[in-house]
Amino acid sequence: MDIRKDKIEKLGDKSWEEIALIARDLEVRIEHEDEDARQLEKRMRVIKQVLYENMQDPERMKHLSSKFYVRLNKLMEEMESKLKKYRADRQEFVVFLRIVLGKLKKEKLVVTHKLDRRVEFGKHKEDAESSQEEE
């Protein structure tokens, strides 16, 4: 078993408030000075702040839309590829997103509208199938 994956899964056992503290303390920094790097860094900071504010309210995290989970997955994939461009050895932001996704998996998303679930997970499935075809 991958040690890193095991640690991420264990962090998924933490409360939303504890994960929010991880978000608060997470340093988002890219060591490049080009405009794309600055924009990416700003975007990561905004995402981190939004997640932090949401996770401080555990009731809010219990009633998430399936869109949130799907978009977070897409965001993680996008961040992985963009951070590889900068050869970021410590992709802490991506690891943090994996922790949040792991927590969401353990919490079992509650989808109140069946159509919402079908549409969003259908989109996610199509995206996964199209990315496999590209490889």
pLDDT at 1: 41
Distance of CA 111 to the CA centre of its chain: 19
Alpha-carbon distance of 45 to 1, in angstroms, equals 32
Res. 2: pLDDT tops 70: no
pTM: predicted TM-score of the whole model, two decimal places: 0.69
Nearest to 2 by CA among 112, 128, 98, 126: 98
Alpha-carbon distance of 23 to 61, in angstroms, equals 15
pLDDT at 90: 53
pLDDT at 126: 61
Residue spans per domain, the chain: 3-110
pLDDT digits (tens, 9 = 90+) for 42-74: 998 999 898 888 888 878 877 777 788 888 889
Between 53 and 135, where is the model more confident?
53
